[in-house]
């Protein structure tokens, strides 16, 4: 088998010059492309965020008690936190609040990682309940966008009454680029 081909100084310069002269694909600064080939799917296959986009990474968020006045320190049962659907809604509402602090919206979310614990009341992960909560924030009249998403069943979360934790990545074209 032949070894590597070594180019002389002039041939190497010519190869580099040709590569630099070739047109690069036209990519708009800060452009976000959502890839969804199956219109019936509730999530994207992918999201492409080009250089220059304003990107925000939201740490994993947990749900709040069903009674907003109840401090977490007083929660003593899963019933006070709700089922997977209710906890998903609560968690996504917290993400929405975090995004709003920096001028982002749920329509800017391009990726979610969802960690779901089995609900001991039903003995399994409630994927349908999680999707029902998800559908209240994505693919709606208020927010027709959806997001790329990974969902993981986990053995446990940071507290005994949490069934879900979600982290998010949001991206938007830089302000003033319109």
* φ and ψ of 13, to 5 deg: -60, -40
Lowest mean pLDDT among 1-15, 32-46, 145-159: 1-15
Separation CA 85–CA 43 (nearest Å): 17
**118 pLDDT exceeds 80?**
yes
Q: What is the pLDDT of residues 44-55, one digit of tens each?
A: 999 999 999 999
Neighbouring-strand partners of residue 114: 151, 166
Whether residue 137 contacts residue 145, with contact meaning beta carbons closer than 8 Å, is answered with no
**129 pLDDT exceeds 60?**
yes
Structure confidence at residue 12 (pLDDT): 45
Structure confidence at residue 29 (pLDDT): 80
Kindly list the distances between the CA atom of residue 65 and the CA atoms of 74, 88, 129, 156, 157, in Å, as whole numbers in the listed order.
10, 12, 17, 18, 15
**23 pLDDT exceeds 60?**
no
Separation CA 50–CA 62 (nearest Å): 30
Q: Sign (positive/negative) of CA torsion 136, 98, 168, 78?
A: negative
Structure confidence at residue 71 (pLDDT): 96
Kindly list the distances between the CA atom of residue 92 and the CA atoms of 5, 15, 133, 140, 178, in Å, as whole numbers in the listed order.
55, 51, 8, 14, 28
Structure confidence at residue 96 (pLDDT): 98
Structure confidence at residue 15 (pLDDT): 47
Q: What is the pLDDT of residues 61-92, one digit of tens each?
A: 999 999 999 999 999 999 999 999 999 999 99
Whether residue 81 contacts residue 154, with contact meaning beta carbons closer than 8 Å, is answered with no
Structure confidence at residue 100 (pLDDT): 98
Domain residue spans of the chain: 27-172
Whether residue 27 contacts residue 50, with contact meaning beta carbons closer than 8 Å, is answered with yes
Separation CA 115–CA 35 (nearest Å): 23
Give the confidence band of 18 by pLDDT, cuts at 50, 70, 90. Answer: very low
CATH of domain 27-172: 3.30.1330.40
């Amino acid at each position: 088998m032949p070894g590597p081909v070594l180019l002389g100084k002039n041939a190497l310069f010519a190869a580099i010059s040709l590569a630099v002269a070739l047109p690069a694909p036209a990519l708009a600064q800060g452009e976000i492309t959502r890839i969804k080939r199956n219109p019936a799917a509730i999530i994207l296959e992918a999201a492409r965020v080009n250089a220059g986009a304003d990107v925000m990474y939201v740490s994993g968020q947990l749900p709040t008690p069903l009674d907003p006045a109840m401090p977490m320190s007083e929660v003593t049962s899963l019933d006070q936190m709700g089922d997977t659907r209710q906890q998903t809604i609560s968690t996504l509402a917290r993400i929405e609040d975090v995004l709003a602090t920096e001028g982002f919206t749920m329509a800017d979310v391009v990726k979610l990682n969802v960690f779901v614990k089995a609900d001991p009341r039903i003995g399994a992960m409630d994927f349908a309940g999680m999707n029902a909560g998800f559908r209240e924030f994505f693919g709606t009249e208020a927010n027709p966008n959806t997001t790329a998403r990974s969902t993981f069943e986990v053995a446990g979360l940071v507290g005994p009454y949490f069934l879900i934790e979600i982290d998010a990545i949001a991206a938007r074209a830089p302000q003033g680029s319109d």
